[in-house]
Structure 1
Amino acid sequence: MHKPLLVPEFLDRARTHYGDDEAVVATTGERFTYNELGERADRFSAALQERGIEKGDRVAVLDPNTHYHLEAAYGIMQTGAIHTPLNYRLTPDDFAYILSDAGVDAIYADYDYADRIEEIRDEVPTETFITNDVDAVEGGEWESFDDVLDEAGTDYDRPEMAEDEIITINYTSGTTGDPKGVCRTHRCETIHAYLTVGHQSLTDDDIYLWTLPMFHANGWGHIFAVTGIGAKHVCTRGIDAGEIFETVRSEDVSYMCGAPTVLNMLIDYYEQNEPETTGGADVRLATAGSAPPEATIRTVEDEFGWYLKHVYGATETGPLITTSDARRHFDDDSDDRFRIKKRQGLAYLGTEIRVVDEDGNDVPRDDETIGEVVVRGNQIMEKYWGKPEATEEAFSDRIEGYYHMGDLATIDENGMLSIQDRKKDIIISGGENISSIELEDTLFDHPEVSDVAVIPAPSDEWGETPKAFVVPASGDPNEPGVTEAELEDFTRENLAGYKTIHRVEFVKQLPTTATGKVQKYELRQEEWEDEERMVGQG
């Protein structure tokens, strides 16, 4: 028997079986049952259709982790329109590119970020602008989210949908300046959510704290998985260590996610304030972005009393494709578990992970030979929006039919990955992807920069941080004509804040090949010589 896998059915199930149960704890202090969440989503669906939104149209959401994001996402997808979440840390120019590239017809933007859309609204094809606080947004005409819901009613037309149709586009910075839209189908999202439920041990009595941005690959699939299983969402407007501990205690939080930089923030706060770390439930925490060092895992598990799961993936892959939660390979009471848990881990169910050499052949499972990670699975993206050549390259570089992760790894006898370096020009700092090429292009625009190479440098706080090796226009690294602080300010003014360069080294020349190509590998080797591997451990 074949039944189509459709993402609106996650909310349908929750309404059917948990309608009167609490679904969402809002940042406003409001609490919504699944029936109430469903009604608000229905009203948003009706409102979109009244404004001409049809199946296949793109609707953007720019919001921190509030109840509005959940309502908008399901309201969009119930109409067959394509949910297009935006990274709220980007610049107006970034938003202009994405909204135009995707051809976005409508946007809901939180009041804290709507001004960035207002700045470029005349440059984009978008015609419908909705926010949750019109009084906080100056400029053009914006509609109030709550007023829109009140006026809409609950009747809308849910079109016939097929599981192979695109339902979300998640933009990733990739390795070039222009973001790429990762297209995911109903089937991709549904199967990834099923895998998340299983591997993250989600149950209907879980209480999930949103410390992971919902825009990150649909919050690692948790907008689907947590909803479908009938668990509770606890929303946030950002990361504050004290508030996280307090919410864990007061709301009996049992599960959350966080990049290693979030774990570092929590550890720093814990050491200074000694808060209670649990409420009425045991806490599980999933981390990804860069491998946490053993000391971090030890503190989280032995002092906080939480259980840590290290997962791995990319926006293009669901994102989750591996887990270090392999209890038959370690003893919960043994320090040996830390060695296992800092690895990227074993493949998810139904997911084929290989580590291959330049010719596409599998490397030995000796945990020493390095190759590139490639993956096949039902949770992998369909394509890049409007970029067939980039899509073809992603699935055919070393071996046909596998998505190429761009990460270099070893693999042990149990098939457990350990990332050693990156093939792509990407830096993962605090869980955010930063394109070294984009930073280089920006720095090249400074008149005192003649040549530049940007690489990841180790950072105790962020795992990795961008470092620029700059050949000054003066030709003299001792008299470069510009300061490190001035270059930092220059990148901050021209790029999203998290992409700011924080380390600069002025050099006479960059290492190059005989054909003039910069040898970034040499720079990385020198920068990481005291580390176990050339990737960050935040």
Structure 2
Amino acid sequence: MSGSTFDEFLRQRSMLLNAGSYEDAKANFRWPPPGEFNWAVDYFDKYLAETATNPALVYINDELYRAGDSRVFSYPELRARSNRLAHALSDLGIGRGDVVMVMLNNRPELFETFLALMKMGAVIAPATTLLLPADIEDRAARAHFKAIIADPEIVSRINQIRDRLEKLGVKYFITLGKPSPSWLDYYELISGKSENFQGVRTRTDELLLIYFTSGTTAKPKMVMHTHSSYPIGHLTTMYWVGAKPGYRHMNISSPGWAKWAWSTFFAAFNAGATTVVYDYSGRFSAANHLKVLENYGVDTLCAPPTVWRMIILEDLTKYNLEKIKSFVSAGEPLNPEVIERVYKATGKYIRDGYGQTETTLMVGNFPGMRIKPGSMGKPAPGYDVVLVDEDGNPVGTNKDGHITVRTSPRPIGLMVGYDDENKNKEVFRLGLYFTGDVAFMDEEATYTSLVVQMTSSSQVTIGLARLNWKVTC
């Protein structure tokens, strides 16, 4: 084990899971100290896989949905499967610090890949499967990928620029199956590999994840996270979601966007919950997702506002949603009528929250708090959030200001920075991190966004790939 970092991670996790109130959680939470920590080895393999009795993953695709079936993976099974992949990638020559682009849909292999790369000390660069060749090339040039692991449907797109990618340093091209002779077959690579893998002793400050923001108004920013900022940092997201050990948690999000790592992966597993994934094809169907919630025993649900607005178009009285204990949403304030419709049907309020690709959950309506419709809540444990003017002066209550986070002490859930030093100087100044968004704080220190569509292009983005549109969360 990694000593004090791991031990304190477990202590703070337990405190948040058992906190009697938001006030208790805020007062008692402390970020674990720096040190050696590899979440996939120390926590997932050596703790969860040894102690959890519930499944890690319930996987549903369209075929399984029509049959009323699912594929269920235990924590020990995901440990073994990811260890086989870690051996396979290590045997190729991929190792500590190497950057691997991952373009996989919401399937078990994605979970295996995240875990394997983390155990190896490699750097994960998730990407949406919607990327065009020019986007892929730009990211390869900036992040210096050594390998790409992609779904078969993307192979032809990558092949259009393969020569240029190889010149940029991409050495290995891996896909699920073998649609092209020039690609390595994921399943052949892992065949016969050992289910035991030692793992790398990583430091909390080592690079783990590279995300690219949506880039709606400018070139996408490259956001860098460490072995602590997302794995440990998402304790705040776990607390907000309301997941508990043994719960079934579902997050409606496409991989490649940071919100998948936020809620489908780290928040669910930090809680020791079961993550439920519906890997649908075609257009998004609110009715199908409601049936998944009903038929697969989901306890907690995270969905973006656009999805909630689609959900209330359905007759919610047709579905048995009584088992669901918690609904959360983030990205923009929900209309009061959306919250009210869900409340009338279920007796539970949707709890808003706020965060970015650059951070974990920073502000939220946490379990047990009184809900103010349209409000994104109060600062998360571990975050010192303050509204300021252009000069960094606090604006006080009943005024609007820039949403910032004090960086002394620096919250673990905050990114290392961008690959653009000018941009870093812009957002990290005056002892603050400037989010780029604006909010209003009332006399109860509850924050309300002033803008329906957040001003920053760096908002955590969920790409609903099959819909050909994106929503922020």
> What is the TM-score normalised by the length of structure 1?
0.72
Contact 2:242 2:300 in 1 (8 A): no
1:452-531 to structure 2, matched below 5 A, reads 497-498=468-469
What residue number does 2:138 align with? Answer: 97
1:62-461 to structure 2, matched below 5 A, reads 62-124=103-165, 125-134=169-178, 137=179, 139=180, 141-174=182-215, 176-217=217-258, 218-238=260-280, 239-270=284-315, 275-278=318-321, 281-318=323-360, 320-325=361-366, 327-328=368-369, 330=370, 337=371, 340-366=372-398, 369-376=399-406, 377-384=411-418, 386-396=419-429, 400-421=430-451, 426=456, 431=461
What residue number does 1:2 align with? Answer: 4
**Change beyond 3 A, Cα 1:430–1:172:** closer
Q: State the one-letter code of the partner of 1:149.
A: I
- C-alpha displacement of 1:226: 1.6
- C-alpha displacement of 1:39: 0.5
Contact 2:362 2:379 in 1 (8 A): yes
- C-alpha displacement of 1:430: 11
Whole-angstrom distance in 2 between the partners of 1:193 and 1:430: 13
- C-alpha displacement of 1:208: 1.5
Q: State the one-letter code of the partner of 2:377.
A: G
**Helix, strand or coil: the match of 2:252?**
coil
- C-alpha displacement of 1:231: 1.4
- C-alpha displacement of 1:174: 4.3
**Change beyond 3 A, Cα 1:103–1:405:** same
- C-alpha displacement of 1:160: 2.1
Whole-angstrom distance in 1 between the partners of 2:459 and 2:423: 24
**Helix, strand or coil: the match of 1:418?**
strand
- C-alpha displacement of 1:260: 0.8
Q: State the one-letter code of the partner of 1:36.
A: E
Q: State the one-letter code of the partner of 2:72.
A: R
**Change beyond 3 A, Cα 1:87–1:278:** same
**Change beyond 3 A, Cα 1:143–1:341:** farther
Contact 1:245 1:275 in 2 (8 A): no
Q: State the one-letter code of the partner of 1:69.
A: L
**Change beyond 3 A, Cα 1:419–1:58:** same
**Helix, strand or coil: the match of 1:415?**
coil
Contact 2:235 2:270 in 1 (8 A): no
- C-alpha displacement of 1:150: 1.6
Q: Deviation digits for residues 441-465 of structure 1, max 9, x if unmatched?
A: xxxxxxxxxxxxxxxxxxxxx9xxx
Contact 2:106 2:278 in 1 (8 A): yes
**Change beyond 3 A, Cα 1:103–1:283:** same
**Change beyond 3 A, Cα 1:428–1:379:** closer
**Identity in percent:** 25
Whole-angstrom distance in 1 between the partners of 2:395 and 2:459: 29
Contact 2:388 2:395 in 1 (8 A): yes
**Change beyond 3 A, Cα 1:58–1:178:** same
Whole-angstrom distance in 1 between the partners of 2:340 and 2:454: 31
What residue number does 1:15 align with? Answer: 49
Contact 1:10 1:224 in 2 (8 A): no
Q: Deviation digits for residues 300-352 of structure 1, max 9, x if unmatched?
A: 2211444421110110112x101123745x3xxxxxx4xx1421110000101
Whole-angstrom distance in 1 between the partners of 2:111 and 2:337: 35
Whole-angstrom distance in 1 between the partners of 2:276 and 2:367: 28
**Helix, strand or coil: the match of 1:123?**
helix
Contact 1:260 1:431 in 2 (8 A): no
Q: Deviation digits for residues 156-204 of structure 1, max 9, x if unmatched?
A: 4522211111111111134653222211111212332222232322211
Q: State the one-letter code of the partner of 2:276.
A: V
Whole-angstrom distance in 1 between the partners of 2:313 and 2:156: 33
Report how many aligned residue pairs link the two structures.
418
Whole-angstrom distance in 1 between the partners of 2:271 and 2:416: 25
**Helix, strand or coil: the match of 2:353?**
strand
Q: State the one-letter code of the partner of 2:301.
A: M
Q: Deviation digits for residues 358-386 of structure 1, max 9, x if unmatched?
A: 221111202xx2211111322100111x3
Where do 5+ consecutive residues of structure 2 fail to align? 6-34, 62-69
Q: State the one-letter code of the partner of 1:270.
A: D
What is the root-mean-square deviation in Å for CA atoms of aligned residues? 2.9
**Helix, strand or coil: the match of 1:393?**
helix
Contact 1:288 1:311 in 2 (8 A): yes
- C-alpha displacement of 1:431: 5.0
**Helix, strand or coil: the match of 2:256?**
coil
Q: State the one-letter code of the partner of 2:245.
A: D
Contact 1:277 1:305 in 2 (8 A): no
Where do 5+ consecutive residues of structure 1 fail to align? 331-336, 434-461, 463-495, 500-535
**Helix, strand or coil: the match of 1:189?**
coil
**Helix, strand or coil: the match of 1:358?**
coil
- Which protein is bigger by CA-based radius of gyration? 1
**Change beyond 3 A, Cα 1:263–1:355:** same
What residue number does 1:452 align with? Answer: none
Q: State the one-letter code of the partner of 1:15.
A: A
- C-alpha displacement of 1:389: 2.0
What residue number does 2:90 align with? Answer: 49
Q: Deviation digits for residues 79-117 of structure 1, max 9, x if unmatched?
A: 000111112233221122112211111122123334332
- C-alpha displacement of 1:7: 2.0
**Change beyond 3 A, Cα 1:248–1:99:** same
Contact 2:38 2:118 in 1 (8 A): no
Contact 1:292 1:342 in 2 (8 A): yes
Q: State the one-letter code of the partner of 1:84.
A: A
Q: State the one-letter code of the partner of 2:415.
A: M
- C-alpha displacement of 1:118: 2.9
